[in-house]
Amino acid sequence: MQAFSGAQDVSDFVRAYRSFNSSHHDEMVRTFPHVHEVVKRLHDHGLVMGIVTTKIRPSTMMTLEKYDLERYMSTVITVSDVEHPKPHPEPVLSAVERLGANLETTLMIGDSPVDVQSAKAAGVQAAAVAWSLKGEQKLREYEPDYILHDMRDLYAIVGLPEE
């Protein structure tokens, strides 16, 4: 916010931004097609999942609860939980550790360049979603291991037949 406002102290801007987001959360946040069905199916097949986000914990939890996704997540790492946010590997490595997962079998799915960068820096595979606001072409520049055009593309990646 300093870059956009020119102000040294942006705490008032941050407070106003967070207040607006909190009070308008439900009208601004949407899920993408097939997210709930895919997450539920992966969970039902024993895949352990978590969230790594640059958002703060309150808004992250509001979103997960609104769409009934929190019960499928074994860990949630927000920007508030780490010293070094994405693209640093710390958030991804924290999630891997909390999940009891190993780097070789971990896949991070993201919608921004910092997601792909953080995954690669942590030594896990990266999948970028083609429907990102950044655009598929921009994400391809960061060389993700996979590009998802539909959430159901995950089934083939993890070895589940499509239903």
Count structural domains, the chain.
2
32 pLDDT more than 80: no
Tell whether 18 and 72 lie within a shared domain: no
Q: Which helix (DSSP H) or strand (DSSP E) does residue 45 occupy?
A: none
d(CA 61, CA 58): 5
Q: How far apart are CA 33 and CA 150, in angstroms?
A: 8
Q: What is the dihedral of CA 101, 86, 45, 72, to 10 degrees?
A: 110
Q: Is residue 106 part of a domain?
A: yes
Residue 45 lies in a domain: yes
Greater confidence (26 vs 108) lies with: 108
The answer to whether 148 and 127 have CB atoms below 8 angstroms apart is yes
- CB-CB neighbours of 70 under 10 Å: 15
Q: Please state the rounded mean pLDDT for residues 63-89.
A: 97
Are 107 and 157 in contact by the 8 Å Cβ rule? The answer is yes
Does residue 46 share a domain with residue 104? Answer: yes
pLDDT band at 88 (very low <50, low <70, confident <90, very high): very high
Is there a single domain that holds both residue 49 and residue 73?
Answer: yes
pLDDT tens digits, one per residue of 124-160 = 999 999 998 899 999 999 999 999 999 999 999 999 9
> Residues 81, 17: one domain?
no
Instruction: Give the integer Cα–Cα distance in Å for 123 and 50.
Output: 17
